[in-house]
Amino acid sequence: MKVFIDPPNSMILFDLVERFGHEPLCAMIALREMVNNTEIDMPPMNISLDDVVKGLKYAGIEVPSGIRGRLAVWGPLIEEADAAIIMEDAPFAFGCVGCERSNQMVKYLIKKRGIPVVHVSYPENEEQGKLIVSKIKEFFEKLKEIS
């Protein structure tokens, strides 16, 4: 099962999805294709004007370019996903997920797709650590039952 993770660059979520035998859809994999594209030389990420223009599919021209560029990369992943895990209250999310408005839009796009979603909180103590693992495990078990 293809599972979109939010934040899309989270190590914790990527690891847990793989650990439970599924395929994480994340920013790193989408960007890997871009940075390895030898035909474009626009370091550091090889995101070009064309990519940002593609973002118009998700947000209008009055929306800042950084948001449209992000949505151009993540939007197709959300469209491809069978399920999603959203981690709320991550204390810090930088780089790829540094724009809060983009992050809000990602959550909305997931909701709009209507795929199964589990919400977990960023762990700040042992109990929350247990809860994350248990919720994600249970989520996958339920999805297995349904399918």
Partner 1 sequence: MSEGMETRVIMISPSSHITPDQLTRMIHMSGKKVTVKETCYGCLVEGPSETVREIRDEIRNLDPNGIFSKVRAYPCGDQRRCRAKHGTRPGYAQLETEWKALSYIKIGLDASNRGEKPKEVTQKKQLSVTKFKKICEVG
Partner 2 sequence: MIRIAQLSCGTEYSGIQFEIEKAARSVGAKIVYPDVSAEDINEAVDRFGFDPKSPQLKLMIARAVQLADDRYDADAVFITTCFRCAEASLVRNELRRFIQENTRLPVVTYSFTERLKSSQLLTRMEALVTIVERKDLLSRTRQTGLTAGLDSGSSTTKAVIMKDNKILGKSWASTGDVVQSATTVLKEAMEQADVKPKDIEAIGTTGYGRFTLGKYFNAKLVQEELTVNSKGAAWLAGKQSGEATIIDIGGMDNKAITVRDGIPDNFTMGGVCAGASGRFLEMTAKRLRINIADLGSYAVKGNWINAKMNSYCSVFGIQDLVTTLGEGKPFEDVAAAACHSVAEQVYEQQLQEIDVRHPIIQVGGTSLNAGLVKAIGEILGEPPIVPPDSQYIGAVGGALLSSGFL
- Residues of this chain that bind partner 2 (CB under 8 A): 41-45, 47-49, 51-53, 62-70, 73, 92-101
The number of helices, as runs of H, and strands, as runs of E, in the chain is 6, 4
DSSP string computed for 2-29: EEEEESTT-HHHHHHHHHTT-EEE-HHH
Rounded to 10 degrees, the C-alpha dihedral 83/88/90/96 comes to: 50
How far is the C-alpha of 87 from the C-alpha of 122, rounded, in Å?
A: 6
Residues of this chain, 125-144, that bind partner 1 according to CB under 8 A? 125-135, 137
Indicate which single residue of 84, 97, 109, 110 sits in contact with partner 1 (rule: CB under 8 A): 97
| Residue 9 in the binding site for partner 1 (CB under 8 A) | yes
Helix 100-113 to helix 65-80 angle (10° resolution) is 30
Report the DSSP beta bridge partners of residue 117.
84
| Residue 12 in the binding site for partner 1 (CB under 8 A) | yes
Interaction partner, residue 39 (partner 2, partner 1, none; CB < 5-8 Å by kind): none
| Residue 105 in the binding site for partner 1 (CB under 8 A) | no
Q: What mask of x and - would describe binding to partner 1 in positions 47 to 76, judged by CB under 8 A?
A: ------------------------------
Interface residue list for partner 1 (CB under 8 A) = 7, 9-12, 14-16, 18-19, 26-29, 31-32, 34-36, 43-45, 91-98, 122-135, 137
